[in-house]
Structure 1
Amino acid sequence: MAIQCPKCNSTLITARNMGKKACCSIGIVAGGAQGVSNALKGARIGAEVGAFFGQTGIFLGRLAGALVGAMIGGISGGIAGAKVGEIIDDRVLDNFECMQCEHVFRID
């Protein structure tokens, strides 16, 4: 069933997803901060694994470990933030906008 505008009955409706966008951004920043901690742990583990290949292995192991740790933190934070934002969009915010009359509304 197509969503209709309660004001003009148009079916030209778009989802705004403001909560999802905002919470995803906040989640990425928070996850990135957590990723710093993960990066330090990853660098230590990478250096231990890379020690088998000499000084170059230690350097590359630290670099790879730090990058993987930071990416995991940022990605997981972004995903968690997007899920929270999705719930906020559905239950709290007026998430839909009519493209014809610009009326903003939500579906209960």
Structure 2
Amino acid sequence: MNYRCPQCDSARIAVKHTGKRTGSAIGTVAGTVAGVSGATAGAEVGASMGTFAGPAGMLIGGLAGAIFGGLIGGSTGCVAGAKIGESFDGALFDNHECLECGYTFSMPRN
């Protein structure tokens, strides 16, 4: 979309995505913390699946299960946080910034 600065009428406008970035960061941390509990379950499953290869298989299976549990929790939290934060952009935050004069503003939603 072609936005124009309401103060200086410049077309050089940047979108800041403040809510989306903040939500992503908070969601990633929260998802990773929640993924730790999933990681322990994943480690148990991985260890039980690795029993056929002996102690080394249990260790590798347990580590792989824990890593995948944390990754899945973190990425899920990041996506959810980004979507929630995106709803705050424009509604709560001045999401646009003029690169000419530095004025920040929100655009009306369609």
Verify same fold: TM over 0.5: yes
CA distance in 2, matches of 1:83, 1:40: 27
* TM-score between both structures, scaled by the size of structure 1: 0.96
Q: Distance in 2 between matches of 1:104 and 1:90?
A: 11
Match of 1:19 in 2: 19
Letter in 1 for 2:37: S
* TM superposition shift of 1:17: 1.0
Deviations 1:26-58 (A, max 9, x none): 111100110100100000000110011111110
| Cα drift, residue 6 of structure 1 | 0.8
Q: Report the Cα distance in structure 1 between the residues aligned to 2:98 and 2:107, rounded to whole angstroms.
A: 13
1:89 maps to what in 2? 89
Aligned to 1:30: 30
1:44-77 C-alpha deviation (Å, 9 max, x unpaired): 0001100111111100000000000000001100
* Percentage of identical aligned residues: 44
Runs of at least 5 residues in structure 1 that lack an aligned partner in the other structure: none
The structure richer in helix per residue is 1
Shift of 1:21: 1.2
Across the aligned residues of Structure 1 and Structure 2, the Cα RMSD in angstroms comes to 0.9
Structure 1 residue runs of 4+, over 2 Å off? Answer: none
Whether 2:91 is the aligned partner of 1:57: answer no
Counterpart CA distance in 1 for 2:22 and 2:92 is 14
1:73 corresponding residue in structure 2? 73
Q: Which region of structure 1 is more displaced relative to structure 2, 85-94 or 2-11?
A: 85-94
- TM-score normalised by the chain length of structure 2: 0.94
C-alpha separation between the residues in 1 aligned to 2:44 and 2:67? 12
